[in-house]
């Protein structure tokens, strides 16, 4: 990735060691990935952003090439990881923040605790647990949420068969399947010891996330500008993202990204880059 100006780093935060990549210079933009992916989902977006901004893309706790603690997978804790990386390690006091999939609720957690630091927030194809609606699991349509919350069972079923199980998502969750060379990098990280458990722990923390966010939203709405985008095909969340963030923030715009399923940074990178740049400039 050096040819793209992407540099790899590690940060020791005590209970977790975060891998992260950086590129470019300027006002900071932090990119948070989702499951079952890693920082690598942003590789098409980073070069364009890095022409104007300092880009930081970490692997979240337990995922990618970060370490895999036994606990701490509620999004407030994961958000605190990100704050410590950005503020304490990198010395950044203000930044733009973008979150996709589980990176979205993590980004919300950061913005809710540090609203003065997160100057603008973008949430991609995910809703916020605790927003007062059942959309995080779509009333059970997102069947894997319940499976992943079941202790031990998904690990036992999927270990050694990651290509079959995770491959179903890579093939079906978008308007087009992800390419084999793309999924190979994700499978490399999710085959590592403890990676499946860590990924499923994001889902096992959903009840905690709902309680935490509902308590926050009862007396506080995010004050910074928010961009909320959903894909319009396959398993894309369409207008759900916009609706969810309007319940959690005061200044929300966005809507649909066309011809796009769930893998927005890879299915429509040029469109997403344009939407982000326009949002950051506005």
Cβ burial of 243 (10 Å; 0-12, 13-18, 19+) is middle
In whole angstroms, give the CA distance from residue 223 to residue 227: 12
Helix ranges, 61-102 (H): 75-83
Answer for the pair 29, 56: CB distance below 8 angstroms, yes or no.
Answer: yes
Dihedral pair phi/psi, residue 169, rounded to 5°: -65, -45
- Of the candidates 9, 3, 115, the one whose C-alpha atom is nearest the C-alpha of residue 57 is 9
Sorted by sequence, the CB contacts under 8 Å of residue 4 that are 6+ apart come out as 23, 43, 46, 47
Given the residues 101, 125, 131, 209, select the one marked as catalytic. 101
SS3 96: strand
Active-site residue flag, 131: no
Q: How many CA atoms lie within 13 A of 244 on its CB side?
A: 31
Active-site residue flag, 53: no
Active-site residue flag, 145: no
Given the residues 59, 203, 209, 212, select the one marked as catalytic. 203
In whole angstroms, give the CA distance from residue 145 to residue 210: 14
Pairing of strands 118-124, 53-58: unpaired
SS3 276: helix
Structure tokens at 77: 């804790």
- Annotated active-site positions, please? 101, 203, 262
């Amino acid at each position: 990735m050096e040819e793209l100006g992407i540099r790899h780093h590690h940060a020791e935060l005590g209970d977790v060691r975060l891998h992260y990549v950086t590129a470019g210079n300027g006002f900071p933009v932090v990119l948070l990935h989702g499951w079952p992916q890693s920082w690598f989902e942003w590789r098409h977006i980073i070069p364009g952003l890095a022409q104007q901004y300092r880009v930081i893309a970490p692997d979240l706790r337990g995922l990618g090439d970060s370490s895999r603690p036994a606990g701490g997978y509620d999004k407030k804790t994961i958000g605190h990881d990100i704050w410590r990386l950005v503020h304490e390690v990198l010395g950044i006091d203000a930044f733009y923040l973008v979150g996709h999939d589980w990176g979205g609720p993590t980004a919300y957690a950061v913005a809710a605790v540090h609203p003065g630091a997160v100057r603008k927030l973008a949430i991609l194809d995910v809703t916020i647990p605790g927003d007062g609606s059942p959309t995080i699991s779509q009333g059970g349509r997102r069947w894997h949420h319940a499976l992943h919350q079941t202790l031990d069972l998904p690990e036992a079923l999927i270990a050694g068969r990651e290509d079959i199980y995770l491959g179903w998502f890579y093939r079906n969750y978008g308007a087009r399947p992800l390419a084999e060379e793309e999924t190979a990098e994700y499978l490399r990280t999710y085959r590592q010891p403890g990676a499946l458990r860590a990924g499923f722990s994001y889902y096992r923390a959903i009840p905690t996330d709902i309680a935490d966010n509902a308590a926050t939203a009862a007396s506080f709405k995010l004050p910074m500008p928010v961009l909320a985008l959903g894909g319009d095909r396959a398993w894309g969340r369409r207008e759900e993202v916009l609706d969810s963030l309007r319940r959690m923030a005061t200044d929300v715009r966005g809507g649909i990204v066309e011809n796009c399923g769930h893998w927005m940074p890879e299915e429509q990178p040029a469109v997403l880059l344009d939407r982000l740049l326009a949002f950051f400039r506005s």
